[in-house]
Structure 1
Amino acid sequence: MIIVSHILATIAVCDRIKIKNANTNLDIAFCPSSLLNSLMPLIHIPKSWEISEREVTPETIFMNRRRFVTSLIGVGLSASLLPLTGCNSNSESISQSTPGLNHIYPGLNRNPNFAQVDRSITEEDLATKYNNFYEYGGTKSIWQSAQRLPLDNWKVEVSGLVKNPRIYDLDDLEKKFPIEERVYRFRCVEAWAMVVPWVGFPMKLLMADVEPLSNAKFVRFTSFYDPKITKGPGILSQFYPWPYTEGLRIEEMANDLAFFATGIYGKSLPKQNGAPLRQVIPWKYGFKGAKSIVKIDFVENQPETFWHKISPNEYGFEANVNPEKPHPRWSQATERIVGPGSSFSWETRPTIVYNGYGEYVASLYA
């Protein structure tokens, strides 16, 4: 109890930890480094990539399924009548047990400039079941908790230093802006990586619609928050600076790569992946991408953001992928590619500066 009380009094960030005690199995989100060091014999710190072994749906099945669905639509079948299950029992269990995978984008075009990368697309079951979404917990297995997210009548308010403030619903966004698919590398600050086929539209199209004023230098993105629903990672969630916010320089938002995602794997975003609208900034670490966005503000000064406010020396505002700039507690020189089977079998690759997108973004930081 002394140890638990001591930790409860803490307001500094660290990895999720578990106190190993016969009577205690407590997940917490805050602890100071001095306390952590003193309690090392009692503490197990899981690696960020640790997950249980499970079978997954091969990416080839996803591709074959989408081609099959598209061909059926082409001969006149309504998309609403098509089954959303895959070609084996594993795919079927995903679509049945993961609400949100209920809308197929027919005739979806993959942007040829972002059609492939130097590695295989991550298997769908992993990309939709291995997630960081702190509003719903501090582990990677939050997909069930995230089903609490209410999506009915979702609105996204765009305001601040703009000529045309807007309030969009999801249909507005998908009708106003051309929807496309892009295959992007995704790099987490925790040194694991995926490749994901996102569905959505470039951020610069929304910017053109609202017309930022000349004194708008930054953009703040705010995620959905309701303490009864988004309960956070544990008993110290009340100390986090909710709601989750992130920010970009306006030049970053206008970059060709910056993307608003409304879908994944040819279907609408599952709740655990940030439904119904999330940021995708592929040259930055994943925490820069706000999920379940409800508000976008164009502002003059750099906004305070969720992780930067908690621990500015660990989570910088810029947060570009950089193998030569380690996180204070681990190296960024390599990354582990999330895949099937044990995490010990995952491939390790050298990290590429800007996550391999330097030709698009390096000039922003010259």
Structure 2
Amino acid sequence: INTAISSAAEDAMLKVAPGDYVGDLKLDVERLTLKSIEKHGAIIEGFIGINVSDVTVENFHVDYTDSDRAPVDLMDAEGVTIRGNKIEGGSDAGGISTWTGTSDASARAYGDVLIEDNEINNGPIGLVIGNEEANVVIRNNIMENPDNEGIWTMKNENAEFIIQGNTVNDAGLEDVKIVDEPVSVNNEISPYGMIMTTLRENEGVESVNVEWMEQTGTQEEMGEYVVYDSGRSEYNEDYEARDRPYIEYEIIGTDIDLTFNNPTNHDYAFDHRIDFEEGKEHNWTGNEIDEGELKGEPFGEVYNTVTLSEETGNAHEENVSGDEEVWTGLRLGAEQNDYMGWIIFERK
């Protein structure tokens, strides 16, 4: 296989027949695709080292139980795809990892990284990103008996992660550990949101640690939002029936999908507040509402307003999540008779 790799042109695809192949593979041709014709039929008795950009490794059985490096070693891998492989590890460095065999390893994976549909025994998916930007997707993998974590990542301050559909069984420590604060995980930017979305999007993951905040969450601790009896949701439904401004919501685990609707020809400013964030004063702050369901109540402050009109459209969707509570309502716009007070969601 190494002979074929060394003579391959960039952008080549090499298909490998079933059989046992003894020795290490070193991928040093850019944009190379290396694929086992039969899934797990080509058995590599050694490690696969990747040191170039835009390489794909697919459908191999990698059997490398030595502890000196990972079976699939992302030495300096930009834009790598690791898909559909069965990987036998041998230590906490096993599996698919950025690893060179020394504690001060400079190995890294960055750019567009896709790791999906792999089966890993006795090892993790472990990624050092470095200072580069990265869009990392870790999806639908199974990790069995990793010594420490099932998935870990570090030096990832410029990385965005999608972590979905993974299963970790019998990890020595947390199932997932994110050492340094990334840009986002599953589009969440808060530590709590990263923990909750990782638990929600990975039913086979029981614990998630965000080390920079020294926080760990588990499936047992996941709370769900409930609608607090704020006395506001009933007339919200009545407004919908009468083609007045209204708010739709769907509770999905710890997220709330809000849809603001304005079927009228007038301008209205819907609002939502997450946890106890401070609002901003506006021209009407300090005045009282003169009529309608909120007559006598103060206009108050604004938080995260969304104005809907004929020009901006009649509907707007927001996905929100908070540590403790979310408020949403309508108290600015053309007709005070159409205002609605806060619908309050509390986490229980």
Q: Shorter-chain-normalised TM-score: which range?
A: under 0.3
Q: Comparing both structures, which one devotes a greater share of its residues to helix?
A: 1
* Larger of the two Rg values belongs to structure: 2
TM-score with structure 1 setting the length: 0.19
- Provide TM-score, normalisation by structure 2: 0.19
Higher strand share: 2
